[in-house]
Amino acid sequence: MTTITLEMPEPIFYRLNQMARVTRQPLERVIFQSIQGNLPPLIENLPLEWSSELTQMQFFSDNQLWAIAKDKLPVRQWQQHQALLERQQVADLTPTEQAELANLRQLTDHFVFRRSYALALLKWRGYTLEPTQLL
């Protein structure tokens, strides 16, 4: 552990202190959880095949990140993924269907993580993320 001294505005301290009181946790734990929960993941902790792309995203403009954040998973891809998942619940998938499901799962995971990373970067750049901004 490393100890630091931190100066913060009174309103932020008040909010953290209130959260500690309400949750009956030490103030230090609430501060630690707040910091830890808001940090974007480290590139070195990401799947190797995504690390290069996500490293580049750190240098994207805000507009480029917003475009990624507002991107939608292709409807046909989502429908096919869901159809295969439902079929898998009632019957064995053929080897071709299994391969397609694995590919769709990987594409969906990549899409979700890329979008989440863009949102995390925007948050760290000071944007407040409202659900209506992502529609």
Confidence band, pLDDT 50/70/90 cuts, at residue 124: confident
Task: Identify whether residues 91 and 73 lie together within a single domain.
Answer: yes
Task: Identify whether residues 33 and 49 lie together within a single domain.
Answer: no
Provide the residue type at 45 as one letter.
Answer: N
Q: Looking at residue 13, what is its pLDDT? A: 94
Task: Identify whether residues 57 and 99 lie together within a single domain.
Answer: yes
Task: Identify whether residues 52 and 76 lie together within a single domain.
Answer: yes
**pLDDT per residue as tens digits for the range 60-111:** 999 999 999 999 999 999 999 999 999 999 989 999 999 999 999 999 988 9
Provide the residue type at 39 as one letter.
Answer: L
The more confident residue out of 44 and 90 is 90
Task: Identify whether residues 1 and 64 lie together within a single domain.
Answer: no
Task: Identify whether residues 75 and 124 lie together within a single domain.
Answer: yes
Task: Identify whether residues 52 and 65 lie together within a single domain.
Answer: yes
Only one residue has tokens 């953290």, namely 16
Q: How many CA atoms lie within 13 A of 108 on its CB side?
A: 14
Contact in structure between 60 and 125 (CB atoms under 8 Å): no
pTM tops 0.85: no
Q: Looking at residue 46, what is its pLDDT? A: 74
- Count the domains in the chain: 2
Contact in structure between 78 and 102 (CB atoms under 8 Å): no
Structural domain span for residue 22 = 1-39
